[in-house]
Amino acid sequence: MSKEAASDQILLTYLDPSPEDYSTVWGGHVDRFALCDRGVTTADEEDPFLGEDEPCIVAFVDFSRWGGHSIYINYLYVRGDLRGQGYGTALIEAFYDEFLDEVGEEGSMDWGRLMADGAIVLFKRMREAHPDVYHRAKYR
């Protein structure tokens, strides 16, 4: 599944399953929602998660569904050389647009353990924007 986002340059892609190895958690089934910026044509060779095959992938959310109405965010990642440019915000807003209906008032959006300041800011912003959904996260 793919859909056009705010501009022709941005593409959102859903991968089932994530290319990362999550065999030891969640029964090994973790999906990925990724943001591709077609204007980014070179890969960051230092990046541990995003290879040279698709240099336009600049951010992703790996997530699991559980309990019928809940989503657990296993990993939220923005390419290191492109942080601070709004990709994380665009990705999370699109992620919520795409998957929040699955959660509804009965479930929860669990962000797991947040270690990056940017992720904490995004979590708080989304919790405030969607008060009807239970949000959970651990952070300092």
Reported pTM: 0.87
d(CA 13, CA 36): 8
Q: 10 Å Cβ neighbour count for 102?
A: 13
- 12's tokens: 């959102």
Question: What type of residue sits at position 10?
Answer: I
Instruction: State the CATH number of the domain containing residue 14.
Output: 3.40.630.30
Tally of domains within the chain: 1
Residue pLDDT tens, the chain, 140 long:
233 444 678 889 888 888 888 887 756 689 999 999 999 998 888 888 876 777 899 999 999 998 889 999 999 999 989 999 999 999 999 999 999 999 988 899 999 999 999 999 999 999 999 999 999 999 98
**Which structural domain range is residue 13 located in?**
2-138
